Amino acid sequence: MKYTHYNHELNIKHLGQEVYLKGWVQKSRNLGGLIFVDLRDRFGITQLMVKPENTSYEKALKLRSEFVIEVKGVVIERESKNLGIPTGEIEIEVSDLEILSAAETPPMAVTNESDALEETRLKYRYLDLRRPVMQNFLIQRHKITQAIRSVLVKEGFYELETPILGKSTPEGARDFLVPSRLYAGHFYALPQSPQIYKQLFMVAGFEKYFQIARCFRDEDLRSDRQLEFTQVDIEASFIDEEDIQRVIENIMVHTFKEVLDVDVKAPFEKMSFRHAMDFYGTDKPDMRYDLLIKDFSDLFNQIDIPLFNDKKYIKGLIMPNGAGLTRKQIDKLADLVKKNHGDALVFIKKQNNEYSGSINKFMSQKDYELLGLNNEDILFLVPGQDDNCLNALGALRVELAVLFELTNPNDYKFVWITDWPLLEYDEDEKRYYAKHHPFTQPKDVDVLLNNPKEAMAKAYDIVLNGYEIGGGSLRIYSQDVQQLMFKTLGLTDEDVKHRFGFFVDALKYGTPPHGGLALGLDRIVMLMTHTSNIKDVVAFPKTQSAKDQMMQAPSDVDEVQLEELHLKIRGE
């Protein structure tokens, strides 16, 4: 038999037509001799009806969930219509049925509403992916990927590939290492990103490059992170920050319109890293709601409150109409603040024009009035050092938005975070680390040379609804500046030669000014499909404990394989 239609196409206009369908049995029901079968494929469901006098009736009696079948039949009008699906006015009176593949009873229901544990879903991922809701995630991922690709091709970018087996250049997350069979004791590394390779494309003169790139980082997992992930990697020569930002904005405008029919307005708002931290408590602020952090240090420095006496800062935020929060809810918020490095959470309520709170006995009426609270407002305060206060209040801000339902999932607010610090200092190791990566161009080379702590980067992140979905920078293209950067990071000449010698050599042969950005495809799909778990938009993801539940990886290997790779497991 051959397909004539998929299982979402037939309707009342097709009455009397002979059709051929294939798919999986969603369910089968024997009602007074007539057998009704819901046939499912990736597009939808068609109801089949098999009469007792049909030669295929005995086969139909054997049907169970997830059998794969093909049928021939005639489109007829249903007596009991289901207007909730496109094919709900018709059914197929089957004249011929073939069982292509029988199925055992599946360990989980292949339905949108599944109560299966995540461990079960991941172990039988091929069954989980039969569920329409899961198929939609990956179909949307396909559409999003193609929409992004179409913009870049139109903009004149070449889609070029870079190696998976490369060199370990540890600077940031841990590398995944691959032992070499031919070179005993030596290792390849899986790419954390194609960073150096894409810069070498610029040295090679391709000018505009992109790649849907697989990347690997051996780091702890969370709801928006996997060990392996996909970047839309972009690099271009002879451009400035505005040029690359314009390309990304074009991508977002086109993709949201093409896939969701949502109009996104460009250009996007820009905000400095310092402003984002000071007012939102994070470098990835959710711009869909207000709720800004304020500095109350000057006010509370005038009041003798023991909890605040040895604190450098007292910062906080006001939740309008939040005074109805219970003590139990506030205690949970206090725990959240402590988990995010806040010293303590203090609250002041104004209810029925009366003030109350955890520091009530230290406050006068005049003190309260200076706070600027409206009736039914609640003020949360976090004392401590600057960044600790801000990180804690940033987490509190996000949690309050959830509690008070401040966000609309169909609202998309982009913001560029610019003016980043170039470096961060590790007090324990007494050395600088690159805030982004060691190839980021400084805004002022003299500042990097004379006062590296204050050096700023020509870097930019793009944030959507509280998630960083991409980051990039203009790159260093001067040999002298790159050497200065390595020196500032504490790398010796031997370190540089060992890790980046080939790249330093490349800079000697005429390197154009260049820069780029990498978009996190998985996160973009996650946000556009309104799921909070990145595993939903990855076909075969790892668990939170970094295991492939289906393949049972990682796993041990044969002793012969270890010997070929010149490896021995410690302890054996």
pLDDT score at 436: 87
- What pLDDT is recorded for position 131? 96
| pLDDT tens per residue across span 388-422 | 899 999 999 999 999 999 999 999 999 999 999 99
Spell out the residues 6+ positions from residue 109 whose beta carbon is closer than 8 angstroms to its own: 115, 116
How many whole angstroms separate alpha carbon 459 and alpha carbon 477? 15
CB contact at 8 A, 320 and 293: no
Q: How far apart are CA 314 and CA 263, in angstroms?
A: 41
Q: Helices marked H in 11-117 — which ranges?
A: 57-61
Q: Residues 6 or more apart from 521 whose CB is under 8 A from it?
A: 141, 144, 145, 148, 212, 229, 230, 231, 232
Displacement of CA 510 from its chain's centroid (Å): 37
| Per-residue pLDDT, 95 | 96
Measured CA distances, 155 to 149, 266, 267, 405 (Å): 10, 17, 17, 39
The SS3 call for residue 565 is coil
What domains are there in the chain, each with its CATH number? 12-101 (2.40.50.140), 135-271+413-537 (3.30.930.10), 289-403 (3.30.1360.30)
| Dihedral sign (CA 304, 308, 309, 313) | negative
**Helix crossing, 327-339 with 386-403: angle to 10°?**
140
Closest CA to 440 of 415, 422, 425: 422
pLDDT of residue 421: 96
β-pairing, 269-272 with 414-421?
A: parallel
For residue range 95-125, what is the model confidence (pLDDT) as tens digits?
A: 999 999 999 999 999 999 988 999 999 999 9
From first to last of the 572 residues of the chain, give the pLDDT tens digit: 688 999 999 999 999 999 999 999 999 999 989 999 999 999 999 999 999 999 999 999 999 999 999 999 999 999 999 999 999 999 999 999 999 999 999 999 999 998 899 999 999 999 999 999 999 999 999 999 999 999 999 999 999 999 999 998 765 678 999 999 999 999 999 999 999 999 999 999 999 999 999 999 998 877 678 899 999 999 999 999 999 999 999 999 999 999 999 999 999 999 999 999 999 999 999 999 999 999 999 989 888 898 898 888 999 999 999 999 999 999 999 999 999 999 999 999 999 999 999 998 899 899 998 998 999 999 999 999 878 899 999 999 999 999 999 999 999 999 999 999 999 988 888 899 898 889 999 999 999 999 999 999 999 999 999 999 999 999 999 999 999 999 999 999 888 888 888 888 999 999 999 999 999 999 999 999 999 899 999 999 999 889 999 999 999 999 999 999 999 998 75
Instruction: Find the Cα–Cα–Cα–Cα dihedral 547, 551, 554, 560, rounded to 10°.
Output: 180
What is the secondary structure of 153-219 as a DSSP string? HHTT-EE----SSB----SSSBPPEEE-SSSTT-EEE--S-SHHHHHHHHHTT--EEEEEEEEE-B-
pLDDT at 224: 72
pLDDT of residue 223: 67
Can you state the angle between helices 521-528 and 132-154, rounded to 10 degrees? 120
> Rounded distance, CA 218 to CA 215, Å?
10
Residue 518: which residues within 8 A CB-CB, separation 6 or more? Answer: 193, 213, 231, 232, 233, 234, 470, 471, 472
**pLDDT of amino acid 170:** 64
Neighbours of 275 (CB within 10 A): 14
DSSP annotation of 302 reads T
Cα–Cα distances (Å) from 133 to 110, 113, 230, 528, 531, in that order, read 10, 9, 21, 14, 11
- d(Cα 155, Cα 243) in Å, to the nearest integer? 12
- Residues 120-128: contacts with CB within 8 Å, 24+ apart? 122/535, 122/541, 122/543, 122/549, 122/550, 123/549, 123/550, 124/550, 125/539, 125/540, 125/549, 125/550, 126/550, 127/66
Give the model's pLDDT for residue 302: 86
| Beta strand 45-50 pairing with 90-101 | parallel
**CB < 8 Å & 24+ apart, contacts of 349-355:** 349/323, 349/377, 349/378, 349/379, 350/323, 350/374, 350/375, 350/376, 350/377, 350/378, 351/323, 351/375, 351/376
Asked if 241 and 233 count as a contact pair (C-beta separation under 8 A), the reply is no
Q: Which residues contact 160 (CB under 8 A, 6 or more apart)?
A: 201, 206, 209, 210, 211
| Selection from 568, 564, 570, 569 nearest residue 183 by Cα | 564
Classify strands 208-216 and 158-159 as parallel, antiparallel or unpaired. parallel
